Structure 1
């Protein structure tokens, strides 16, 4: 869904500052992080719009093991600019693929 002319600022960007949609942000977060880390892309567990673009939580395979349930996974917080370019990332968690959260 694109912004109407009334919703655009002088630079031509939508007033909310984002030029890509949620699905595109999700794909770009996963792809760019996997390329940077040279890891197998996993899944995107969260995506949200921010004032500066997008924030996503991306899961990647950091170390392949046999059996697969013992592979080492990691969660990364990724920041994208309004055009969907990766501008920052940080690892927030490491775990075995077969591990589940305890709550």
Structure 2
């Protein structure tokens, strides 16, 4: 059945519409769609072949314009073919999650402002570095809120050792981070 579906989707109905254009629906085994049959006017076989070649050429040129020809082998890999049992260091993930929970629970209290988000967590030589965003001033509309970005330093046990403000921006001003 899947083979028939594939064949239907690649073959176009050869009937002509009322406008004189070729029908755009996929054809069944008899070269007509569900709406047309042998009694309808059709395109000639040579016209059908020419149109299919034109469509293939258009598809190729569109894919080249999109840069699919420049894709690496890794980018072309079918996700279903990838081995799902890739070894992951669960200790590292658990460490990042522990730091994230610690930062989320303490950032607002530590900085004295309303916690908004964790935007970065990275390991350092001495432990962890997290960048959080806090609301320094509420405004209406909320795109005018003043957001402060703070860096928080933590040791390997996720104990906070210090913080500093990196910058401030309006919530709606994203150009600096793009």
The TM-score normalised by the length of structure 1 is 0.74
Q: Secondary structure at the match of 1:65?
A: coil
Q: CA RMSD, aligned part only? A: 1.8
Higher relative contact order, chain-length normalized (CA < 8 Å, sep 6+): 1
**Could you tell me how far 1:31 is from its partner in structure 2?**
2.5
Q: d(CA) in 1 for partners of 2:124 and 2:106?
A: 19
Query: How many residue pairs are counted as aligned between the two chains?
Result: 87
Higher helix share: 2
The superposition leaves residues 69-97 of structure 1 with CA deviations (integer Å, 9 ceiling, x where unpaired) of 11110101110111111111110110111
Name the residue aligned to 2:117. 43
Higher-Rg structure is 2
Segments of structure 2 that go 5 or more residues without pairing to the other structure are 1-89
Name the residue aligned to 1:62. 136
The TM-score normalised by the length of structure 2 is 0.45
Segments of structure 1 that go 5 or more residues without pairing to the other structure are 3-17
Higher strand share: 1
Question: Deviation above 2 Å: which 4+ runs of structure 1?
Answer: none
**Is residue 148 of structure 2 the alignment partner of residue 74 of structure 1?**
yes
